[in-house]
Amino acid sequence: MDDLIKYLREQKTFKTHTKEELEFIDTIKLKQVTLPEGRLIVKENTSSPQLFTLLDGWAYRHKTLKNGNRQILNFLLPGDIVGLQQNLLDNTSSSVQALTPVTLCELDKNKLWQLYERHPALAYDITWLCAQEEHIVDDNLMNVGARIGLEKVAMLLLHLYKRYKAIYPIPGKTIPFPLTQQEIADSLGLSLAHTNKTLRKLEKLGLHSISNNALTIFDEKVLASVADYFYMPVKQRPLLC
């Protein structure tokens, strides 16, 4: 876990914490948790037993209706906090599930208020993370409600590509991409058939390729134009682990 944390702390997307903040973060870390693909991390309509920071792998937050229909609200990548809303609001109206095998840093939720009492600057950053996730969900709602199918898919591909590259600034135009077509459909409010058709259309245009759980973006500018998407780098965020 130390290697994972060390790598993340070296990335420009995460803030450099003060010595005092790092010492406090060390006091709230409990243990490393590894979960397999598909495992629920947080269950809908329950109180989260602890807080977690995602260190490795992908997860997603979703809501499920009684008929089994699912809406994926957001995808979570390393550095994202899991369970914060549940602990601030006592319970949650959504679930968080591992999309791939994940490694989590478990945090002591009982010390959450000490964070707000003793380290207001860090507490502000954590609160900002909640607001940022809400902003992402708002963007997803706009994507689902206002864009046509081609724009929706282009937006999602480019958004996840940019988020991943901010954490892992690897060379080249390819990133790991564990989403199935069903998960893409469930995040965009599309049918599986429409999702498949749209992905093939974008691929025929020469804009992207998905193969062997990897996404390649061949032309970011054209894909952004199709999606009506303007990327603004987010400010540096805290790393609570």
For residue range 10-34, list pLDDT tens digits in order.
999 999 999 999 999 999 999 999 9
DSSP letter at 109? G
Nearest to 227 by CA among 146, 172, 164: 146
CB 144 within 8 A of CB 188: yes
146-227 CATH pick, 3.40.50.10800, 1.10.10.10, 1.10.540.10, 1.10.520.20:
1.10.10.10
Every domain of the chain and the residues it spans: 2-142, 146-227
Q: What is the mean pLDDT of residues 163-179?
A: 95
Amino acid identity, residue 157? L
Fold match between domain 2-142 and domain 146-227: no
The CA distances from residue 160 to 27, 76, 126, in Å, are 32, 10, 22
Report pLDDT for 85.
65
31 token code pair: 């243990």
Nearest to 28 by CA among 84, 85, 86: 84
Rg for the chain (alpha carbons), in Å?
Answer: 18
pLDDT tens-digit readout, 200-217: 999 999 999 999 999 999
Report pLDDT for 83.
81
Nearest to 75 by CA among 93, 60, 90: 60
Q: Find the helix or strand (DSSP H, E) in which 52 lies.
A: strand 51-56
* Residue with more model confidence, 181 or 238: 181
Report pLDDT for 134.
67
Query: 48-52, 78-82, 160-164 — which is least confidently predicted?
Result: 48-52
pLDDT tens-digit readout, 146-160: 578 889 899 999 999
Nearest to 174 by CA among 200, 208, 199: 208
Question: In CATH, what number does 2-142 get?
Answer: 2.60.120.10
CB 32 within 8 A of CB 105: yes
